[in-house]
Amino acid sequence: MGLTTAQKIIRDHLISGELVAGHEVAIHIDQTLTQDSTGTMAYLQFEAINIPRVKTELSVAYIDHNTLQTGFENADDHMYIQSVANKYGIRFSKPGNGVCHQVHIERFGVPGKTLLGSDSHTPTCGGIGMLAIGAGGLDVAVAMGGGAYYLTMPEMVKIELKGTLQPWVTAKDIILEVLRLLTVKGGVGKIIEYGGPGIAGLSVPERATITNMGAELGATTSIFPSDEITLAFLKAQGRPQDYFAVGPDADAVYDETYTIDLDQLVPLVAKPHSPDNVVPVREAGPIAVDQVAIGSCTNSSLYDMLKVAAILKGKTIHPNVSLVIAPGSRQVLTMLSRLGALTDMIDAGARILESACGPCIGMGQSPRTNGVSLRTINRNFYGRTGTASAQVYLVSPEVAAASAIAGVLTDPRDLGEMPKVSLPAAFDINDNLIILPAPEGNAVEVVRGPNIQPFPVNTEIPAEIDGKALIKVEDNITTDHIMPSNAKLLPYRSNVPYLADYCLTPCDPEFPARAKANHGGFIIAGANYGQGSSREHAALAPLQLGVKAVLAKSFARIHMANLINNGILPLTFVQPEDYDTIDLLDELTISDAPLQIKSLVQGKNLVVQNKTKGRSIELSLPLSERQAKILLAGGLLNFTRQEG
């Protein structure tokens, strides 16, 4: 039986385990990346492991999230990350060099290699045939120290693309169609592979758009084969030596297969407030638009930007629209300038932002009250923009540009003939904003500002876990709900005690105070709890507040791993209706907790007693022996120290 693309890369990096879906495997990690929103915590944890130098082939620290410097906090974090990178052998991408995923695929991604990033959109590099996985900062810290990355071997899903994209239909429409088919929960425990004759017409930037937004499926990662298209891209980046051909065997077996006919695809839009709320643009109707934001790691490549510039050339944006554009990297921005495309954007009335995440994470450009914002980003979760009442629609750059001109949500096919745009044979290469580390780090001093505070570390599991149900939340609670990530809070990502006072406040403003008053306890949640960002703060802030376990109908992959890594039990209701039997402030107890956790390895269920209701509730948590030891130790950091 043949292997899929992902299975081949996992096989070549396998440390332990077997390629059997549902079984735990450990793989070697070649490269890591961090960004400044998650990076400070990842490096604080790396320092705590006490390893003198990173052991990966390549590790890069990017500054792209917290770039608004309205106080000292962000600048202090940047200096901390730069000094840590210098000391421990990590390359440092300075502010202005670009969004981590865009820069990494341009300058560092290598087909056939493994990449672990402390950002959920790390799978972007799957666009060049890399096994690129988003994870929590502690997992990345361990990988930087030479440790294996453990994951449950995913099922394999193939998306067969046939036909050819029609004029004005884009890669963004492909991934929106996949989200419509599979939903935001449809990729959990799975790797999505793209194949079929239709992939031959997709450039690397288009493939990267698709693998990037595969994170919204909840998938472990998404990947394209590495082929002649990949080679052409690497040659244009001056890196032909990094090319490695990798693809599925002809007799590869997939657990699921879906077919998308590109000939039949039309421009699509994801309506508020979920990336899978997808309909054709024409069905959504000519909604009046207040703001258009083009950029983010999903759609900020040179190819996307050149198409936007061609649409805007000679036009003027609608008087009621604010159009902001953030090129994904300095390379993209520089080439737009040299090609004259930047002038076309500015002449049309666009505001040019720096090459950073910006509006995607609510770092500036929040819409007006009740405003409608079209964005080429990957998430439209409630409140993510910084304006709770805003209505955010996810669209392609073509839809965004056409709508900015018309002032209403517009199908770009209404513009007539599509401008012809092609990528240059060679990109401008200038890596002078990537700082190489010191050859020897012993003499380098790590600079710590006053905002960098110690992070919470759990203790060993006690004999009995007692507490109250501190909050009860619904399905599809995101990490944006658990730990808000707006412009006011992002500067405090290295100060967990401060952030904890905002934990889950979008769901219940009283939660932090209630958790403190009751000395911690339990979170009760619906399905797909913790979807979205890989931010480890969504586990660290509850830990700071004394949360001992989360009882949910189901979990998102990365957040579940982050909870385990921090010694918080992520327990799933065996009977989903048991969720309805727990009320706020019910007294809950897990008796003989260490023994019950050990029994989970044998596939047994764990029992929680609801003392208030006088009933028992069965919960499941499939664990390997290693994961059980992590929980018993009070988290991965304690476990790693114990293992020596």
Q: Which residues of the chain have pLDDT under 50?
A: none
Distance CA 344, CA 229 (A): 29
Question: What pLDDT is stored for residue 156 in this prediction?
Answer: 98
Question: What pLDDT is stored for residue 203 in this prediction?
Answer: 96
Cβ neighbours for 643, distance < 8 A, ≥ 6 positions apart? none
> Which residue ranges does the chain devote to CATH 3.30.499.10?
5-264, 268-412
Distance CA 3, CA 479 (A): 34
Domain 5-264, what fold?
Aconitase; domain 3 (3.30.499)
> Which residue ranges does the chain devote to CATH 3.20.19.10?
465-643
Alpha-carbon 575 to chain mean position: 30
Q: Please say whether the beta carbons of 524 and 572 come within 8 A.
A: no
The continuous run of DSSP H or E covering 629 comes out as helix 625-633
**Closest of 401, 382, 398 to residue 271, by C-alpha:** 382
Secondary structure in 3-state letters for 270-317: ECCCCCCCEEEHHHHCCCECCEEEECCCCCCCHHHHHHHHHHHCCCCC
Distance CA 483, CA 38 (A): 12
**Closest of 342, 350, 299, 301 to residue 323, by C-alpha:** 350
Helix (H/G/I), strand (E/B), else coil: 482? helix
Cα pseudo-dihedral 350, 352, 358, 360, rounded to 10 = 30
Distance CA 142, CA 147 (A): 5
Residue type, 293: A
**Which residues, listed in sequence order, are joined to residue 606 by a DSSP beta bridge?**
619
Cβ neighbours for 65, distance < 8 A, ≥ 6 positions apart? 35, 36, 37, 356, 357, 361, 363, 490
520: left (phi over 0), alpha (psi -120 to 50) or beta: left
Cα pseudo-dihedral 618, 623, 626, 629, rounded to 10 = -10
14-23 exposure pattern, b = at least 16 Cβ within 10 A, e = fewer: beebebeeee
Q: Please say whether the beta carbons of 126 and 113 come within 8 A.
A: no
Tokens of 575: 């009977």
Helix (H/G/I), strand (E/B), else coil: 336? helix
Read off the pLDDT of residues 25-47 as tens digits, 9 standing for 90 and up.
999 999 999 999 888 989 999 99
Cβ neighbours for 264, distance < 8 A, ≥ 6 positions apart? 163
Question: What pLDDT is stored for residue 371 in this prediction?
Answer: 93
Class of domain 465-643: alpha beta
DSSP state of 460: P
Domain 268-412, what fold?
Aconitase; domain 3 (3.30.499)
Residue 152's Cβ-side half-sphere holds a number of Cα atoms within 13 Å equal to 19
Question: What pLDDT is stored for residue 644 in this prediction?
Answer: 62
Secondary structure in 3-state letters for 386-429: CCCCCEEEECCHHHHHHHHHHCECCCHHHHCCCCCCCCCCCCCC
What pTM does this model have? 0.92
Q: Please say whether the beta carbons of 115 and 242 come within 8 A.
A: no
- CA distances (Å), origin 16, targets 54, 55, 96: 22, 19, 40
Question: What pLDDT is stored for residue 44 in this prediction?
Answer: 92
